[in-house]
Amino acid sequence: PGTKLPAVGTTIFTVMSALATEHGAVNLGQGFPDFGCDPKLLDAVTAAMAAGHNQYPPMTGVPLLRERIAAKIEALYGRHYDAGSEITVTAGATQAIITAILALVRPGDEVIVLEPCYDSYVPNIELAGGVVVRVPLVPGSFRPDFGRIAAALSPRTRAVLINTPHNPSGTVWTAEEMRQLEELLAPTDVFVISDEVYEHMVYDGALHQSVARFPGLAARSLIVSSFGKTYHVTGWKVGYVAAPAVLTAEFRKVHQFNVFTVNTPMQHALAHYMADAAPYVDLPAFYQRKRDLFAEGLARTRLRLLPSEGSYFQCVDISAVSDLSEADFCQWLTREIGVAAIPLSAFYGDGFDQRVVRFCYAKRDETLRDALTRLAKL
Ligand code: PMP
Ligand code: GLN
């Protein structure tokens, strides 16, 4: 029978986590914290359940949570989104992204992705019947190349997917880069799906440049974020989409049949917690210290560090250490050295190999030290 996604196997994150478990390796592959969340957040879940919040919530999300999300966006990025008509709670960013794509992309529409990109984008576009137009970020720096994005735009372009802070490279777009995108799209009807799941993880005093800050972008954008990253609860799978009412209406048409609603007690817990806890204020310092601890150790190896301006990923060039392909190197590193990593080739449609692999540093200090002890051989 004809398969819908002939090129797709099991995601690299699942594959590498399984390999790490099999070999007792320190798992710096799949991106997730190995530490717990604030106990107050857990108490809020049991309190929500005890208070009877166990049936379907409203299709668009628990109202108080949508209000708190809107307040946060306004406080940080200066744009008002109406909690009733412009914010939708989703089952993590993964569901938000596929739902946004299914809502916007019609068969034959072109969608621009900037490679390397998160592994769900391309199959999502293909499931919608769209045509994937791959544009590379600048090799080496992973910055947007506006000449190439401009050249990729066509009358059939329906949407552009962007992601800052960027997974896997850790690049953070500057305000100037956002303005360039705004200017480039000004004469078009192209939509933007802006994956901002790492919005609160930006280091060295830089600011996250949400599309919400740029009127010409905000008007055409669906902003995607995830509580999993911000509150150290990736397994909860709760996120949201913020978009102008006309776009939100289209999004919700698909959302209601795609997931309908998102688990109730977690939404109440997050709403309650967000009233007085804004952990994103401390998050940059928290993760910047981990980034620096890990980078200091790596600097003593022959791995060459690339900048990690944001996200919780550190990329390294392996060429001084090994002649293996990225994928083979990650297998070898997991089996023989006992540290799991992710090959960047997994983020390219054609498997492009530039001898770079990604580590996740959202780990306890002792986990990072254990990994560094093992990596010291390199
Ligand atoms: N987009 C990017 C860039 C991500 O890194 C992730 C998480 N790995 C997601 C989307 C999915 O987020 P969630 O776990 O909330 O579905
Ligand atoms: N987003 C995480 C990463 O990039 C993992 C998500 C997943 O396992 N699908 O590692």
Q: What are the C-alpha distances in Å from 120 to residues 126, 248, 346?
A: 10, 21, 11
Closest atom of ligand 1 relative to the 118 alpha carbon: 3
CATH of 12-30+282-375, one of 3.40.50.920, 3.90.1150.10, 3.40.605.10, 1.10.10.60: 3.90.1150.10
Closest atom of ligand 2 relative to the 14 alpha carbon: 8
Query: How many angstroms separate the CA atoms of 325 and 306, rounded?
Result: 18
Closest atom of ligand 1 relative to the 13 alpha carbon: 8
If you measure from the C-alpha of residue 174 to the centroid of ligand 2, how many angstroms do you get, rounded to a whole number?
24
pLDDT at position 278: 78
CB 93 within 8 A of CB 163: no
Percentage of the chain with pLDDT > 70? 100
CB 341 within 8 A of CB 263: no
Closest atom of ligand 2 relative to the 30 alpha carbon: 10
- Which residues approach ligand 1 with their CB closer than 6 A? 31, 92-94, 118, 163, 167, 195, 197, 226, 228, 234, 237, 239
Closest atom of ligand 2 relative to the 13 alpha carbon: 8
- Of the ligands numbered here, which is closest to the C-alpha atom of 228? 1
pLDDT at position 182: 98
pLDDT at position 277: 74
Q: Which two tokens stand for residue 84?
A: 């009733």
Average pLDDT of the residues in 97-109: 98
Average pLDDT of the residues in 118-131: 97
- Of the ligands numbered here, which is closest to the C-alpha atom of 15? 2
pLDDT at position 145: 98
Closest atom of ligand 1 relative to the 167 alpha carbon: 3
Query: How many angstroms separate the CA atoms of 41 and 347, rounded?
Result: 33
If you measure from the C-alpha of residue 226 to the centroid of ligand 1, how many angstroms do you get, rounded to a whole number?
7
Q: What are the C-alpha distances in Å from 227 to residues 38, 129, 273, 292, 374?
A: 13, 29, 12, 24, 32
pTM: 0.98
CB 134 within 8 A of CB 113: yes
CB 326 within 8 A of CB 242: no
If you measure from the C-alpha of residue 178 to the centroid of ligand 1, how many angstroms do you get, rounded to a whole number?
21
* Amino acid found at 254: V
Q: Which two tokens stand for residue 132?
A: 């994937």
The model's confidence at residue 1, banded by pLDDT at 50, 70 and 90, is confident
Model confidence pLDDT, tens digit, residues 334-351: 999 999 999 999 999 999
Nearest C-alpha to atom 3 of ligand 2 is from which residue? 31
Angle between the N-to-C axes of helices 63-77 and 264-276, in degrees from 0 to 180, rounded to the nearest 10:
40
If you measure from the C-alpha of residue 94 to the centroid of ligand 1, how many angstroms do you get, rounded to a whole number?
6
Angle between the N-to-C axes of helices 264-276 and 39-50, in degrees from 0 to 180, rounded to the nearest 10:
130
Cβ of 30 closer than 6 Å to ligand 2, yes or no, is yes
Fold exhibited by the domain 55-278: Aspartate Aminotransferase; domain 2 (3.40.640)
Model confidence pLDDT, tens digit, residues 273-303: 998 877 788 999 999 999 999 999 999 999 9
pLDDT at position 280: 83
The answer to whether ipTM exceeds 0.85 is yes
94-112 burial: b if 16+ Cβ within 10 Å, else e: bbbbbbbbbbbbeeebbbb
Q: Which two tokens stand for residue 183?
A: 């200017």
Average pLDDT of the residues in 39-50: 97
Cβ of 228 closer than 6 Å to ligand 2, yes or no, is no
If you measure from the C-alpha of residue 155 to the centroid of ligand 1, how many angstroms do you get, rounded to a whole number?
30
Indicate the top mutation candidate among 8, 32, 121 to test ligand 2's pocket, ranked by most ligand atoms within 8 A of CB. 32
Q: What are the C-alpha distances in Å from 325 to residues 25, 119, 332, 343, 354?
A: 20, 19, 10, 9, 9
Domains in the chain: boundaries: 12-30+282-375, 55-278
pLDDT at position 2: 87
Average pLDDT of the residues in 64-84: 97
CB 105 within 8 A of CB 128: yes
Query: How many angstroms separate the CA atoms of 109 and 157, rounded?
Result: 6
Model confidence pLDDT, tens digit, residues 230-281: 999 999 999 999 999 999 999 999 999 999 999 999 999 999 999 887 778 8
Model confidence pLDDT, tens digit, residues 135-174: 999 989 999 999 999 999 999 999 999 999 999 999 999 9
Nearest C-alpha to atom 12 of ligand 1 is from which residue? 93
Q: Reply yes or no on whether the pLDDT at 26 is more than 80.
A: yes
Average pLDDT of the residues in 217-228: 98
Indicate the top mutation candidate among 14, 94, 122 to test ligand 1's pocket, ranked by most ligand atoms within 8 A of CB. 94
Q: Which two tokens stand for residue 269?
A: 């817990």
